[in-house]
Structure 1
Amino acid sequence: MRFELIVIGSGPAGRRAAIQAAKLGRSVLVVENRIRVGGVSVHTGTIPSKTLRETVLNLSGWRERGFYGLAYRVKKDIEGKDLGARLRMTLDFEIDVLEHQFARNGVRTIGGLARFLDPHRVEVVADGQSEVYEADRFVIAVGTKPYRPASIPFDDHAVVDSDTLVEQLRVPRSLTVVGAGVIGLEYATIFSALDVPVTIVEPRSNFLEFIDREILEEFVHELRQRGVSFRLGCRVERVELDAAGWPVALLGDQRRIRSEMLLYAAGRVGATEDLGLQNIGVPTDGRGRIAVNPSTFQTTQSHIYAAGDVIGFPSLASTSMEQGRIASCHAFGAPLADAPVFFPYGIYSVPEISTVGLTEEEVRLKGIGYECGVARFRETSRGHIMGLQSGMMKMIFALADRKLLGVHIVGEGATELIHIGQAVLNLGGTLDYFVENTFNYPTLAEAYKIAALDAFNRMPSAAQTAAEAAQASIAPA
């Protein structure tokens, strides 16, 4: 059977690529190797982790502790079954919506493992049966899977990865997280919100290098205050199970960390091992990721595209969707507008972190004259109403033209608040927008005006800046 497009994988990139091609009037087949559609994002990644976070915050009474004290709980004893109930309902809803979208747009879906036979044919194996499908074009959107080195004794109970953690939810008495990347930090802080003692082990001395350092310092300070331990610059040499079945991590500096559960979250690899890419001349790197043209998402085979986590950074559901859409549009010659320069990055830890634009470190490296403004959530009326004790927004403006350069937020609602900054940044807005416009009161979004005024009070006036620029232009060489 022949299609104009075959999409391998039904996560954010795959679904958007398939639906976009269908809207262009093309025949589309989606191959998914799980029983139900949704990909990593729905089954073990984005949706489960964010659902788990919301469940923990609600059941633990986390958001109300600013008023009622650290001992406040909505539910006293929270167990794995409490966490799983909401997760199953959410996943069923997400899958139902996705299946309806495919059906409504005439996208055909089949379950099975796809493998390239040659540049225009794939074999799909399911339940011991195989069938060959042909297509003019392909989009590879298989996502990633947790990196599981042979030296770590995974048993999917005491020693787990991020997939098995959500598949068999339980609340351990203590937790060690190996890897201070986005996934490791999200789960570390979620369990910390349940008052589980957490130790984070990271072989590098720094982590989340793409986050503004001041925001990260605020984040780490809050985690340390609630008892999270960091072991930075320490490599896990090996993991052993003691007589009680508890994992013990032995570090390179001879320290030992014992906990009831160990989450190994030190990276992910592209799920490309069984795709038969060697049959079509599409190479992968050491972590199974596929290199693509960053503008079109074409691989070394011009009619074969790749999108989503399988191509690497930034590995966000939001950007993966856009990559899938762009790939389909390019494949079928549909017009494409230029992509916005800046996109937001969200980390759904407790507290949240979200950022868009340049960090202060990047501004310095570019040699741009700048000023920063900061707003603390506890200083806003809405923050006080909510009982917030922490959280901050940092805004960076250029001195020369007062344009917004970056917005960085840590705290409640950061991933929602960031979109105001994203819009102003991509539209080339300035500090004056925030100073002159009215924000709903009381809201956390007021922090934009507070931070802008904080920067305004330290910046020279527009007239002064213009005069200085004019003086510099006529100064003798």
Structure 2
Amino acid sequence: MHFDLIVIGSGPAGQKGAIAAAKLGRSVAIIDRQAMYGGVSLHGGTIPSKTLREAILFLFGLHQRAFYGHDYTVKEEINHEDLIMRVRMVEEREMSVIRDQLKRNHVQMFFGTAHFRNEKTVVVIGEGNEQVLTADNILIACGTHPIRHANIPFDGETVIDVDQILDLTDLPKKLIVVGAGVIGLEYASMFAAMGIGVTIIDQRTEILGFVDREIIDRLKFSLMEQHTVFRLGETLAHVEKERNNQVKVTLESGKVIRGDTFLYAVGRQTNTDTLNLEAIGLKTDKKGRISVNEDFQTNIDHIYAAGDVIGFPALAATSMEQGRLASCNMFCHPAKTSHELLPYGIYTIPEISMVGKTEQELTDAKIPYEFGTARYDELAKGQILGVKSGFVKILFDPKTLKLFGVHIIGEQAAELIHIGQAVLALGGTLQYFRDTVFNYPTLAEAYKVAAFNGLNKLQEDNICHIESDRCGDE
């Protein structure tokens, strides 16, 4: 069968790339394993983990504890099944939405494992059958799987990777997380919120280096308040299962840590190893990532790649946009996006989101800046929600008042960030927030509070300059 476009992978990048091409009147096929319909985002990644987070927040009554006491929960005994029930319901509904969207746009689905026979031919090996598809264009969006270390005894029960965490049958009392990246910290904070003892191990001394340092300090403080232990600058020496089903972890420093469950979250490897890329001369790096140009085109003109398979930032939101842009560009409808203003959402508890420059980046570039801040506990909405912590920081040019970046930690951070993103994209200034009326009470009002805080600092500086001039005259 011949198509205008074959998409390998049905995750966010593949879906949006396929639909964009179909909207342009092209014939499109998507290839994926049936068990992974919807991609890692739907099975073990974005959707399940964020749904699990919401289930934890609700069932453990974390926002209600400010009013009803530290031990408040929705029900007396909360088990793993209570948490997973919500996850499975959302997965099924989201899968139905994806299936309907592809069907409405006449995208054909082929289930099986794909590999290249030549530059325009893809073989799909399914259960007991083989199909040969050809296409004028191909989009590789095959996603990733967790990296595993050969010396770690993974068993899917007590020693697991991030794709297996939802398969746990019981909640642990002590969890050991190796890897303080986005995924590791998200799961660590979720388990800590349930009152589970968490130890986080990472060989780096600083975590999430692309995030504003003040935001990270607040996250670490929040986790340590929940008795989370950080072992940074540490390297694994040995991992073993003990007879009592506990996991014993020995670090190179000699420290020994024991827990009920060991979660390995040190990164992901692309799924390109089964594609037979050697047959078409398409090269990858040691993690299987494919290099692309600004149009998401590989070194082979008619083959494009998008999503996690091309590397950072490897977010579901950016993957969707990359898939769409790849299809637009391959079918002569050039499209671009601003790589400078991508929002990041990190779904820890508390939640983190950011857009634009950080203080570190501005300092390194020797760009003068000022900042304005607002705390959630200053807001009526914060009190109403019972939110203990939350913080908004706006970085701006002290001369022009134009925004450099917005950084948020706290409830609904990933929703609130889009206000700052819009103002940044339109070249707005801090005065926009000062002069805009926000609904009251809302968390969005934090932008106005932060704007006044920043402007007041400038006024204080001006007063100091005036007083210095007067002293000089005297």
Q: Give TM-score, length-normalised by structure 1.
A: 0.95
Contact 1:45 1:163 in 2 (8 A): yes
Contact 1:176 1:200 in 2 (8 A): yes
Q: Which moved more, 1:441-450 or 1:28-37?
A: 28-37
Contact 2:202 2:231 in 1 (8 A): yes
- Please give the per-residue CA displacement for 1:257-301, whole angstroms capped at 9, x wherever unaligned: 1000000001110011101111111111111111111x1111111
Query: Following superposition of structure 1 onto structure 2, how do residues 378-389 of structure 1 map, counting pairs within 5 Å?
Result: 378-389=377-388
For 1:309, the equivalent position in structure 2 comes to: 308
Contact 1:84 1:169 in 2 (8 A): no
Contact 1:189 1:350 in 2 (8 A): yes
For 2:211, the equivalent position in structure 1 comes to: 211
For 1:93, the equivalent position in structure 2 comes to: 93
Contact 1:340 1:426 in 2 (8 A): no
Measure the CA separation in 1 of the matches of 2:90 and 2:224. 32
Measure the CA separation in 2 of the matches of 1:387 and 1:453. 24
Measure the CA separation in 2 of the matches of 1:37 and 1:264. 25
Change (3 A) 1:36 1:177: closer
Note the C-alpha offset of 1:171: 1.1
Give the secondary-structure state (helix, strand or coil) at the position aligned to 2:201.
strand
Note the C-alpha offset of 1:249: 1.0
Partner amino acid, structure 2, of 1:282: L
For 2:238, the equivalent position in structure 1 comes to: 238
Note the C-alpha offset of 1:167: 3.2
Name the Cα RMSD after superposition.
1.5
Partner amino acid, structure 1, of 2:240: E
Q: Which moved more, 1:201-210 or 1:29-38?
A: 29-38
Measure the CA separation in 2 of the matches of 1:147 and 1:155. 15
Partner amino acid, structure 1, of 2:14: G
Query: Following superposition of structure 1 onto structure 2, how do residues 248-263 of structure 1 map, counting pairs within 5 Å?
Result: 248-263=248-263
Measure the CA separation in 1 of the matches of 2:112 and 2:177. 33
Measure the CA separation in 2 of the matches of 1:436 and 1:261. 52
Identity score, percent:
50
Measure the CA separation in 1 of the matches of 2:395 and 2:338. 23
Contact 2:325 2:336 in 1 (8 A): no
Note the C-alpha offset of 1:340: 6.0
Measure the CA separation in 2 of the matches of 1:169 and 1:110. 33
Measure the CA separation in 1 of the matches of 2:276 and 2:424. 43
Measure the CA separation in 1 of the matches of 2:74 and 2:406. 34
Task: Give the aligned length.
Answer: 464
Query: Following superposition of structure 1 onto structure 2, how do residues 332-351 of structure 1 map, counting pairs within 5 Å?
Result: 332-339=331-338, 341-351=340-350
- Please give the per-residue CA displacement for 1:164-223, whole angstroms capped at 9, x wherever unaligned: 112345311110000000000000011111111000001100110010001111111111
Contact 1:36 1:111 in 2 (8 A): no
For 1:473, the equivalent position in structure 2 comes to: none
Note the C-alpha offset of 1:248: 1.0
Contact 1:16 1:325 in 2 (8 A): yes
Is 2:380 aligned against 1:376? no
Partner amino acid, structure 2, of 1:70: H
Measure the CA separation in 2 of the matches of 1:458 and 1:311. 43
Measure the CA separation in 1 of the matches of 2:316 and 2:271. 16
For 1:274, the equivalent position in structure 2 comes to: 274
Query: Following superposition of structure 1 onto structure 2, how do residues 296-445 of structure 1 map, counting pairs within 5 Å?
Result: 296-339=295-338, 341-445=340-444
Note the C-alpha offset of 1:462: 12
Give the secondary-structure state (helix, strand or coil) at the position aligned to 1:47.
helix
Partner amino acid, structure 2, of 1:233: G
Contact 1:173 1:260 in 2 (8 A): yes
Measure the CA separation in 1 of the matches of 2:374 and 2:192. 26
Measure the CA separation in 2 of the matches of 1:24 and 1:245. 56
Q: Which moved more, 1:407-416 or 1:79-88?
A: 79-88
For 2:7, the equivalent position in structure 1 comes to: 7
Give the secondary-structure state (helix, strand or coil) at the position aligned to 2:406.
strand
Note the C-alpha offset of 1:461: 9.6
Measure the CA separation in 2 of the matches of 1:169 and 1:205. 33
Note the C-alpha offset of 1:400: 2.3
Measure the CA separation in 1 of the matches of 2:339 and 2:128. 46
Measure the CA separation in 1 of the matches of 2:39 and 2:215. 32
Query: Following superposition of structure 1 onto structure 2, how do residues 108-257 of structure 1 map, counting pairs within 5 Å?
Result: 108-168=108-168, 170-257=170-257
Give the secondary-structure state (helix, strand or coil) at the position aligned to 1:341.
helix
Q: Which moved more, 1:34-43 or 1:379-388?
A: 34-43
Q: Which moved more, 1:159-168 or 1:270-279?
A: 159-168
Give the secondary-structure state (helix, strand or coil) at the position aligned to 2:458.
coil
Contact 2:147 2:268 in 1 (8 A): yes
For 1:471, the equivalent position in structure 2 comes to: none
Give the secondary-structure state (helix, strand or coil) at the position aligned to 2:115.
strand
- Please give the per-residue CA displacement for 1:346-404, whole angstroms capped at 9, x wherever unaligned: 00110000000000111111211111111110111110111121110111111121101
Query: Following superposition of structure 1 onto structure 2, how do residues 438-453 of structure 1 map, counting pairs within 5 Å?
Result: 438-453=437-452
For 1:58, the equivalent position in structure 2 comes to: 58
- Please give the per-residue CA displacement for 1:436-476, whole angstroms capped at 9, x wherever unaligned: 11111001111101111111001159999xxxxxxxxxxxx
For 1:467, the equivalent position in structure 2 comes to: none
Measure the CA separation in 2 of the matches of 1:272 and 1:354. 30
Q: Which runs of 5+ in 2 are unaligned?
A: 464-474
Measure the CA separation in 2 of the matches of 1:441 and 1:280. 59
Contact 2:36 2:43 in 1 (8 A): no
For 1:286, the equivalent position in structure 2 comes to: 286
Q: Which moved more, 1:193-202 or 1:67-76?
A: 67-76
Q: Which runs of 5+ in 1 are unaligned?
A: 465-477
Partner amino acid, structure 2, of 1:206: E
Give the secondary-structure state (helix, strand or coil) at the position aligned to 1:287.
coil
Note the C-alpha offset of 1:36: 5.5
Q: Which moved more, 1:151-160 or 1:455-464?
A: 455-464
Contact 1:347 1:354 in 2 (8 A): yes
Q: Give TM-score, length-normalised by structure 2.
A: 0.96
Change (3 A) 1:34 1:170: farther
Measure the CA separation in 2 of the matches of 1:106 and 1:463. 63
Contact 1:78 1:171 in 2 (8 A): no
